[in-house]
C-alpha cells in the first residue's frame, strides 16, 4: 500500500484548500465598554463588543474565519477562545468557524516516527 498523504491533502493555495478544520460558536454575547478579557485587565475593551466563544485550539498561530471573514482573537485561554464578532452583528450560537492552521503545523503532517507504548502483556505484532 502506498501512503500518499500530502499529495492528496496538499493545499495549492489558501483560496483553494482541499480540507478545512471547523468548530462551532458556543456562545455569543455583547461585552460592555470597559469589560476585561484577561485576569490582570491590562487592556479593557474600548467599546461595547460582540464576542463569540469557541473551544481552545492548542496552537498560538491559529486564525479563525466566520462566514469567510477573518475575525480577531481577543483572548486565548486554556479552555476557551474569545473572538471579536463586532463586524458580524447577526452571528448566532452554533454557526461554523473555520480554523486556519499555519502550514508547517498541519495536522496531516505526521512526525517521522512516533513511539508506540503497549500495555503490559499486549502484543505489537512484530516478531
Q: Is residue 125 part of a domain?
A: no
Number of domains in the chain: 1
Q: Is residue 88 part of a domain?
A: yes
Q: Is residue 30 part of a domain?
A: yes
Alpha-carbon distances, residue 45 vs 3, 8, 55, 122 (angstroms)? 49, 44, 22, 55
How does DSSP assign 15-47, residue by residue?
GG-S--EEEE--EEEEEPTT---STT-SS--SS
d(CA 36, CA 45): 7
> End-to-end CA distance of the chain, in Å?
21
Range of the domain at 45: 22-101
pTM equals: 0.69
At residue 35, the pLDDT reads: 93
At residue 120, the pLDDT reads: 55
Does residue 88 have a pLDDT over 90?
yes
Amino acid at each position: 500500500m502506498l501512503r500518499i498523504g500530502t499529495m492528496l491533502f496538499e493545499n495549492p493555495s489558501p483560496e483553494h484548500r482541499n480540507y478545512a478544520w471547523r468548530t462551532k460558536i458556543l456562545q455569543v454575547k455583547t461585552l460592555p465598554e470597559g469589560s476585561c478579557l484577561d485576569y490582570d485587565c491590562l487592556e479593557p475593551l474600548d467599546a461595547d463588543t460582540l464576542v463569540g466563544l469557541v473551544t481552545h485550539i492548542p496552537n498560538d498561530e491559529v486564525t479563525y474565519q466566520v462566514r469567510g471573514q477573518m475575525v480577531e482573537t481577543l483572548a486565548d485561554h486554556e479552555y476557551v477562545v474569545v473572538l471579536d464578532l463586532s463586524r458580524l452583528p447577526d452571528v448566532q450560537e452554533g454557526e461554523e468557524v473555520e480554523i486556519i492552521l499555519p502550514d508547517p503545523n498541519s495536522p496531516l503532517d505526521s512526525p517521522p516516527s512516533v513511539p508506540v507504548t503497549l500495555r503490559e502483556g499486549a502484543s505489537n505484532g512484530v516478531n
